[in-house]
Structure 1
């Protein structure tokens, strides 16, 4: 085992980069404050790699990994987790399949063995497949009456038409019904591989013991084979307003425009800009202008979305059918003002102060630290990112904000999808 240590100034924690005897790389924070170990891991490859005619395979795979593995069927596997108070979960997104493990130190061997079985020897028993399939289809059918879900799904269908990101990550009732056990086995083989995983571990465990456990779980996985390439994509249909006709008194709105990826040098200024526009909860411009001053909506906000092969700025709100156009005009006006005038100096400083001061709040549990570190590793931002991040935020200038606004808002065109029966659209 080799380990290099990075001590990060102004950081809530100190992270070691560890490489096990079998070459498994992990970021490690050793802490004896509580007798717990938290693990977060992310495998490259997710819903974007679903078969084009069967969206939903990766998410179904994630739901089945702990539904029996090795010699244990679903009930026996869950009983072993419960008997040792072990928390194990999996999830799948567009670009990744990940998971987390939390255990008491005294149950570490059992916990890591169950994780190994889930990753390396999932059973995919037919009764488990059918139960998860039925639950998934029932959820999808229920969502067909949800304006928010319908608006979101149509937004991605239009914004990324013809691209894997345009397909529903959870699938459709029809596609989920068609998924076979072989589809799950093929997806498992494609994604769960040792050269494709980023791992972060936080807790009361030393490097030597951790190295042995990492080799046991991840070192025995097969070597990664090449995944299909997901081509770069940009948000389409900018300038369009699309209505999903639903007989509801209030329209749900999804809107989006260009974005800046987390890996892009311009991300931090865009992050500060987004906080000012719609990411700052009660302090954002959109909250003040749309909700507080005009009473157009109960909630409104924006966030930056960063995928492997695309990025965008994404927003949401909901308002009465007769006030949709007014709400959209206010949103567009605030974007235009930030592009032409920028924020005030005081507004910029308050945004930076909040983003810097609140950052450490995301590190108040071992699980949160492990999750954040795994995400940073997955994005390739470097082990010192936590230590650098607040300095990057503090260095953002008015010129940086203006440049980010020009890149994101551009000519002001955005894709807007409205689920409801808005008037005047």
Structure 2
């Protein structure tokens, strides 16, 4: 019955009008924890989002994959409850916990009915403060992680991404897969996981937001209860690294009928004054839908692929301008040539007024659609905090998109788009291509 009520609640909220005009209250708890709150009391349901800066980039030397494995174990028993008991308790409350580890953050998402909030948050507190890391749970989850690593070893997209990051970032954490390797994950001990927990879940790096049926006072009390027993500080954050991959082409030989093509160059910091012109430019070149230049030239005109995209990729410690596609081996050389031609055309000619207007219409129209549920709004709000944005960004973002001019994009394209710095990693048996390294 509880499951049914929660399902109905989620469905009802999903039908509320999508909107980007929301009232954000900035709160601070007596313990000093800051959060953003959107109160919505019409439905007895709340979403809480926590994010700890640093993520898997805080793995200790030789312990790659420890933070990823530790994060996966947070819901595998806490306090006096083993994994099975914790799962039963969570399900009995119709609560949803999600624990995820990324390069730059460990993210924790919670959805729960108001009537069960206190009990669910006590479960979360125990998961954060008192994870058990039982040996049987470690071995079970370790085996799942290892299965994923071995699967990725023969997945062309994963292979391309892994090789590109190795070339671009070397020994930096960005240069290796956050899941770790078979050897590194196999060697991880319980002590390594305990150390990883202390390294990333520190009070000094947490960001929080809540959306739904909760008041400011309730939220601040909750934050102190949830986070007050965590270590005051975590491990030092990883150093910034500049993208350093020169232009060229790397081939990864793999027996598959299609070649996966990953391409990229240096990018732009999120707070660069030219970020918005670059963002709109990237939409025109390779954004979603069928109206981008790459989709037009690579798919529509030549039928070389089912899909292709390009996007700005700003991370906490570096930034890239990336894209990906796949095509039959026989036409890989042609596909790379078309991408290079479009890179050059963008750098030399910029974009047209019609392309700019179409991109602005799409970007501004799609933005409110992101705010279509408590959980998604909470996620967006935490992301904004981590990007050092202010609450009024939601109101002003579309104005910034619409303020971009053709001349802005021409200038940015001439400075940022770098054909000589464009590097391709191709996985497969491509024809018509020769490696440059």
The TM-score with structure 1 as length reference comes to 0.95
* CA-CA distance at 1:390 after TM superposition: 0.9
Please tell me whether residue 414 in structure 1 is matched to residue 406 in structure 2: no
Q: Residue in 2 aligned with 1:21?
A: 30
* CA-CA distance at 1:231 after TM superposition: 2.6
1:111-190 correspondence to structure 2 within 5 Å:
111-190=120-199
* Contact persistence 1:137–1:173 (CA under 8 A): yes
Residue 215 of structure 2: which of 194, 201, 206 is its match? 206
Please tell me whether residue 56 in structure 1 is matched to residue 41 in structure 2: no
Q: Residue in 1 aligned with 2:350?
A: 342
Residue 104 of structure 2: which of 65, 88, 95 is its match? 95
Q: Residue in 2 aligned with 1:7?
A: none
Q: Residue in 1 aligned with 2:294?
A: 286
> For residues 415 and 221 of structure 2, what CA distance do their matches in structure 1 show?
47
Unaligned runs of 5+ in 2: 1-18
* CA-CA distance at 1:215 after TM superposition: 1.2
Tell me how many residue pairs correspond in the alignment: 415
* CA-CA distance at 1:238 after TM superposition: 2.1
1:225-240 correspondence to structure 2 within 5 Å:
225=234, 227-240=235-248
> For residues 30 and 332 of structure 2, what CA distance do their matches in structure 1 show?
60
1:188-228 CA-partner distances (Å, limit 9, x unpaired): 11111222100010001111122211111123322114x33
Please tell me whether residue 301 in structure 1 is matched to residue 309 in structure 2: yes
Residue 245 of structure 1: which of 241, 244, 253 is its match? 253
* CA-CA distance at 1:291 after TM superposition: 0.5
* Contact persistence 2:334–2:432 (CA under 8 A): no
1:3-56 CA-partner distances (Å, limit 9, x unpaired): xxxxxxx94211000011111100000002321100111101111121232311
* CA-CA distance at 1:99 after TM superposition: 1.1
Please tell me whether residue 352 in structure 1 is matched to residue 346 in structure 2: no
Please tell me whether residue 379 in structure 1 is matched to residue 387 in structure 2: yes
> For residues 271 and 328 of structure 2, what CA distance do their matches in structure 1 show?
38
**1:281 alignment partner, SS class:** coil
Q: Residue in 2 aligned with 1:6?
A: none
- After the TM superposition, list the runs of 4 or more consecutive aligned residues in structure 1 that deviate by more than 3 angstroms: none
* Contact persistence 1:43–1:197 (CA under 8 A): yes
Q: Residue in 2 aligned with 1:277?
A: 285
> For residues 44 and 307 of structure 1, what CA distance do their matches in structure 2 show?
12
* Contact persistence 1:336–1:412 (CA under 8 A): no
* Contact persistence 2:286–2:292 (CA under 8 A): yes
**1:268 alignment partner, SS class:** helix
Taking only aligned residues, the RMSD between alpha carbons, in angstroms, comes to 1.4
* CA-CA distance at 1:411 after TM superposition: 4.1
Q: Residue in 1 aligned with 2:83?
A: 74
Identify if the C-alpha distance between structure 1 residues 398 and 167 changes in structure 2 by more than 3 Å, giving closer, same or farther. Answer: same
> For residues 151 and 297 of structure 2, what CA distance do their matches in structure 1 show?
34
Residue 218 of structure 1: which of 218, 223, 227 is its match? 227
Please tell me whether residue 390 in structure 1 is matched to residue 395 in structure 2: no
Residue 399 of structure 1: which of 400, 407, 415 is its match? 407
**1:220 alignment partner, SS class:** coil
* CA-CA distance at 1:267 after TM superposition: 1.6
* Contact persistence 2:343–2:419 (CA under 8 A): no
* CA-CA distance at 1:418 after TM superposition: 0.6
**1:314 alignment partner, SS class:** strand
> For residues 100 and 205 of structure 1, what CA distance do their matches in structure 2 show?
16
Q: Residue in 1 aligned with 2:339?
A: 331
* CA-CA distance at 1:230 after TM superposition: 2.4
1:302-338 CA-partner distances (Å, limit 9, x unpaired): 1221111100011100011121121111111112112
The TM-score with structure 2 as length reference comes to 0.92
* Contact persistence 2:20–2:367 (CA under 8 A): no
* CA-CA distance at 1:265 after TM superposition: 2.4
> For residues 401 and 203 of structure 2, what CA distance do their matches in structure 1 show?
34
**1:317 alignment partner, SS class:** strand
* Contact persistence 1:306–1:312 (CA under 8 A): yes
> For residues 379 and 193 of structure 2, what CA distance do their matches in structure 1 show?
25
